[in-house]
Structure 1
């Protein structure tokens, strides 16, 4: 009986890991700076997630933050350290984030902590959703500004995010994310 249970749990672990990796593949390969995902528990138990987390953190450049935990799910911010650092250290991004209350001195950990605090405040109903997360997720700044109402650009397209103004550069970014996901998922099928 224990053998059957262990086999079932191992199967669930592999399925869970594969599902998570498929969703964060563009981040794992270093094309998309971050992903915010929801992880469900397995019958109220997070042991499978804990095993998946250990495996995911074996990727040198990948880190994660458990943003919140509800009764049967967790919200997780997965990020590629160097790619997110490059994304956020852009002077235009820093200037905008400072306008929103982020510290003037840029530091990746400090900015992540600030975003996560805002996400937690949102979860407790203390503030609106921090839409600046789009910058962390790799969306073009013009689209984040447009979505938040800080730009006169019109919404010209809806994809993974709303695109404002000239859509060419945004669609190119979307294509980069999709190609990276596809590439990673093909490799994943060969390994798992």
Structure 2
């Protein structure tokens, strides 16, 4: 499995500091222990560039890997509207980011599905996360990186930026530029 290529394909906006976090889903990992070792290696190698890796959920069918920028995630979580929304799920302002991620892991385990607040850890606007819950995933103004219930024009511009970033990163990677050279510190 070429994890570098998957990161380029699915996480380029996070690698480029355009997005606070990305989530990768790996199906049926047979060597879960080896994968954990790989994640630890990536953390040792890339934490100095501000990029972190954490398994949020694992079961025999899938493993969810969170690729994120801790400083950016923490700053977003501390915004008043985001924190107010998160309080209903047990998050508090005095929690460290690690504590928040531990709670998110528990929510993945308890829910046996995708907990809605996970979108906030990916940088989705709080009005879009709320709208998704309120409308049960229907009646979005725009569908792209996520379902948009707030400002579709702003989201469309952002989706376009993410698409261009992925294309640029994929092109650079395809001509031999290494992952570590593409990660913006």
TM class by smaller structure: 0.7 to 0.9
Once the two structures are superposed, residues 116-163 of structure 1 have per-residue CA deviations (whole angstroms, 9 ceiling, x without a partner) of 11011123xxxx63111111111112111110118xxx5211112111
Equivalent residue for 1:85?
Answer: 74
Structure 1 length normalisation: TM-score?
0.75
Q: Residues 8 and 166 of structure 2 are in contact (CA less than 8 Å); yes or no, is this contact kept in structure 1?
A: no
Q: Does 1:118 align with 2:85?
A: no
Judge conservation of contact 2:39–2:54 (CA < 8 Å) in 1.
no
Q: 1:82 to 1:104 in 2, by over 3 A?
A: closer
Deviations 1:40-69 (A, max 9, x none): 466x22476356435532222111221233
| 1:138 aligned to which of 123, 129, 134 | 123
d(CA) in 2 for partners of 1:104, 1:119 = 21
Q: Matched residues in 2 for 1:65 and 1:144: separation?
A: 22
Aligned to 2:163: 178
Alignment-derived partner of residue 181 in structure 2: none
Cα distance in 2 between the residues matched to 1:83 and 1:179: 21
Q: Which residue of 1 aligns with 2:86?
A: 97
- Separation (CA, whole Å) in 1 of partners of 2:79 and 2:168: 27
Q: Aligned partners of 1:176 and 1:183: how far apart in 2?
A: 10
Which of residues 27, 30, 43 is equivalent to 2:14? 27
Greater RCO, CA 8 A, separation 6+? 2
Q: Per the alignment, in what secondary structure is the counterpart of residue 74 of structure 2? A: helix
Greater C-alpha Rg: 1
Aligned residue runs from structure 1 range 56-67, under 5 A: 56-57=42-43, 58-59=45-46, 60=48, 61-67=50-56
Give 3-state SS (helix, strand or coil) of 1:191's partner. coil
